[in-house]
Amino acid sequence: MMKRNYTNILLAGGLILLAVVARIVNHEMDIYNLAPVAAIGLFAGSVLEDKRFAYLLPLLAMFISDAYIEIFSKWDGFYGISQYFVYGGLIIATLLGTTMKNRKPLRIAGYSIAGSAIFFVLSNFGTFLTGYWGTGIEGLTATYIAAIPFAKNTFLGDLMFSGMLFGAFALLENALYGKMQKAKA
């Protein structure tokens, strides 16, 4: 039990580090939304037994990278009401992961696309509430139209990172499970 807990802590730390570094590097290069944060939520929700950690992973990664952006860049890392919707989208991506029982590639891709779509709708609704693009139906429409270029990176990043995370996990699980099966035989 202690060994498994230690493994989970290492996994969590590694995933947080991956998300923080990827998000900061992409932000510094002006490549927005191509980060593994939602994919980590989906993965953690599906794989981790302790769901408290599953929800904590993407939120902590996002918070750390937001703090870095706030302190060390010219951009706002903490940007008001819309940020709550971004974090809410990450919570929903994690919740979506908790419902994924069968981790087959097509299912993972479907869940990833669904998570990206939910994140897109929710986070951009938060942007609409700021009034930046206007109010009413015109402002709502302008907000979502302005967000379309970012959607490509959101969907591609979530698919790519979900594939990498779930794929690496399946290979590791297969390697460990295969060794255990051979030892029993």
Which residue matches tokens 């990833």? 112
Model confidence pLDDT, tens digit, residues 120-133? 999 999 999 999 99
User: Could you give the CA distance from residue 132 to residue 171 in angstroms, rounded to a whole number?
Assistant: 45
102 touches 170 (CB < 8 A): no
**pLDDT score for 56:** 93
Check residue 98 and give its pLDDT: 97
Query: Which residue in 101, 63, 90, 104 sits closest to 158, CA to CA?
Result: 90
| Domain residue spans of the chain | 2-184
Cβ neighbourhood burial of 174 (10 Å; 0-12, 13-18, 19+): exposed
- The DSSP letter of residue 75 is S
Q: What is the pLDDT of residues 15-71, one digit of tens each?
A: 888 888 989 998 889 888 888 899 999 999 999 888 998 999 999 999 999 999 999
Cα R_g (the chain), whole angstroms: 18
Would you say residue 3 has pLDDT above 70? no
**Does residue 158 have a pLDDT over 80?**
yes
In this predicted structure, the answer to whether residue 12 has a pLDDT above a threshold of 90 is no
